[in-house]
Amino acid sequence: MNEPRIMQFQVAQLLKDPVGATRDYLVDEVINILEGSPPGRVWGRVDFLRTSRGVLARGRLNTRVELACSRCLESFQCELEYGFEEEYFPVLDIYHDEYIGKPEDNDSFIIDENHILDITEAARQYAILAIPMKPLCRPGCEGIKL
Ligand SMILES: [Zn+2]
């Protein structure tokens, strides 16, 4: 079994770049998605855009989670393709090394004091949001045969 990892990026240079600067990355990591399930591979691409307040991270990601089919109740690997978009706020001023602290909204994503932007939590949360309400093991599953 693969050990779960994290998806972290060093963005010190991007924070020094002017607003509008971008970076693109390919991601392919194994992370924890669903509690109680084995870690899952998440792959795709992410781009970062320098904003006036921080970094806007946008991702197009893919993963598979094990779900129970809503008709036949068999478990199956459900492919998820999903996007996310979140702005990350630095806790440290990049030029003066001064602590600016977390934004007032506690749910905001942050760039830590080492200028590391971690998309693991966003990748996990948005994967869960992408899970269909009534998952089907295959199109047209006819359910439990009596
Ligand atoms: Zn089914």
Cα 85 to ligand 1 centroid, rounded to whole Å? 32
Cα 20 to ligand 1 centroid, rounded to whole Å? 46
Note the pLDDT tens digit of each residue in 71-116. 999 999 999 999 999 999 999 988 887 888 777 777 789 999 999 9
Domain boundaries, the chain: 8-130
Which residues contact residue 61 at a Cβ distance below 8 angstroms, ignoring those fewer than 6 apart?
Answer: 27, 42, 43, 44, 46, 81, 82, 83, 84, 123, 126, 127
- Edge to edge, the sheet with strand 40-50 lists 8-10, 116-118, 109-111, 75-90, 55-68, 40-50, 22-31
Note the pLDDT tens digit of each residue in 3-39. 677 799 999 999 999 999 999 999 999 999 988 888 9
Cα 145 to ligand 1 centroid, rounded to whole Å? 10
Question: CA nearest 43: which of 74, 7, 93?
Answer: 7
Cα 4 to ligand 1 centroid, rounded to whole Å? 29
- pLDDT over 90 (residue 120): yes
Cα 128 to ligand 1 centroid, rounded to whole Å? 20
pTM: 0.88
Cα 77 to ligand 1 centroid, rounded to whole Å? 11
d(CA 1, CA 39): 8
